[in-house]
């Protein structure tokens, strides 16, 4: 079994290869790649592997972008420290979605599902069961969660906690979301803006448009713009203009006034 490994954390990649050797001694890792661009290039130039083991979060984006750019029919087992992309992952040829740290028993179960992959009925049943579990986890009844107060972000191979109070704004660009702090440092996060809207305190954070969510202290000035729109100055200043639609302008002003 030929395997392509997509993982940008080398300790995690080494551990996954050790687990793979135990779970499937016949497996051969053809390449380990740490970027979306590298994966796309490799898949264009080589015969399809039998399996792709892919971390969701790569050095230049999320591995799901690979499958947006190419038609990939190879089965995929996703691994990640977060479960925010689980449902999106199952739109690909996903066999399973394993949360880190991956356990040997979980990898063995995922590989057993892979062996059933050529049986459409068994494969569909396995995927449906996993989707049902994920949906249950995400929609289980309970009291509303308190607003998120901190984020675990990545800096190289390290994880750092960032307080929500220290966030200036989030920007969605090229299907990745960047967290920018009031002090200037920026980090990639494994959330969509839609998810962040649900997690953040609406008294402190406002969804400005399709690209930006900003915290109150980051909004410095509002400038009248065309057709009733507003142009905002944020701090730190983003590279892109921040325009608020006419439909949202009144709500933004009300939010700023408290």
Query: Residue 156 pLDDT > 60, yes or no?
Result: yes
Query: Residue 128 pLDDT > 60, yes or no?
Result: no
The CATH 2.40.50.1020 portion of the chain extends over 150-257
Q: Which CATH architecture has domain 150-257?
A: Beta Barrel (2.40)
The CATH 3.40.50.2300 portion of the chain extends over 2-139
How far is it, in rounded angstroms, from Cα 33 to Cα 197? 32
How much of the chain exceeds pLDDT 90, in percent? 46
Of 78, 14, 7, 4, nearest to 43 (Cα)?
A: 4
193: CB partners within 8 A, 6+ apart: 170, 172, 177, 207, 210, 211, 213
Query: Residue 141 pLDDT > 50, yes or no?
Result: no
Average pLDDT over residues 163-176: 92
What per-residue confidence (pLDDT) applies to 54?
Answer: 93
CB 133 within 8 A of CB 144: no
223: CB partners within 8 A, 6+ apart: 230, 231, 232, 233
What per-residue confidence (pLDDT) applies to 92?
Answer: 57
pLDDT digits (tens, 9 = 90+) for 4-37: 999 988 888 999 999 999 999 999 999 999 999 9
The CATH classification number of 2-139 equals 3.40.50.2300
């Amino acid at each position: 079994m030929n395997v392509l490994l997509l993982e940008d954390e080398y300790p995690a990649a080494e551990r996954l290869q050790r687990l793979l050797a135990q779970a499937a001694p016949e497996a051969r890792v053809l390449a380990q790649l740490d970027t979306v661009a590298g994966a796309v290039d490799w898949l264009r130039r080589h015969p399809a592997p039998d399996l792709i083991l892919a971390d969701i979060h790569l050095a230049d984006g999320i591995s799901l972008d690979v499958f947006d750019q190419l038609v990939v029919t190879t089965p995929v087992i996703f691994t990640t420290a977060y479960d925010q992309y689980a449902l999106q992952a199952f739109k690909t040829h996903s066999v399973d979605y394993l949360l880190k740290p991956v356990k040997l028993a979980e990898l063995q179960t995922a590989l057993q599902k892979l062996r059933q992959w050529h049986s459409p009925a068994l494969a569909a049943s396995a995927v449906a069961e996993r989707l049902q579990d994920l949906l249950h986890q995400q929609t289980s009844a309970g009291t509303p969660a308190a607003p998120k107060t901190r984020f675990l972000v990545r800096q190289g191979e390290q994880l750092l906690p960032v307080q929500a109070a220290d966030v200036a704004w989030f920007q969605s660009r090229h299907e990745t979301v960047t967290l920018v702090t009031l002090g200037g440092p920026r980090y990639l996060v494994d959330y969509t803006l839609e998810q962040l809207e649900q997690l953040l305190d609406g008294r402190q954070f406002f969804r400005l448009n399709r690209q930006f969510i900003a915290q109150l202290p980051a909004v410095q000035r509002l400038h009248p713009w065309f057709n009733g729109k507003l142009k905002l100055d944020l701090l730190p200043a983003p590279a892109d203009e921040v325009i608020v639609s006419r439909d949202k302008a009144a709500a933004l002003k009300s939010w700023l006034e408290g």
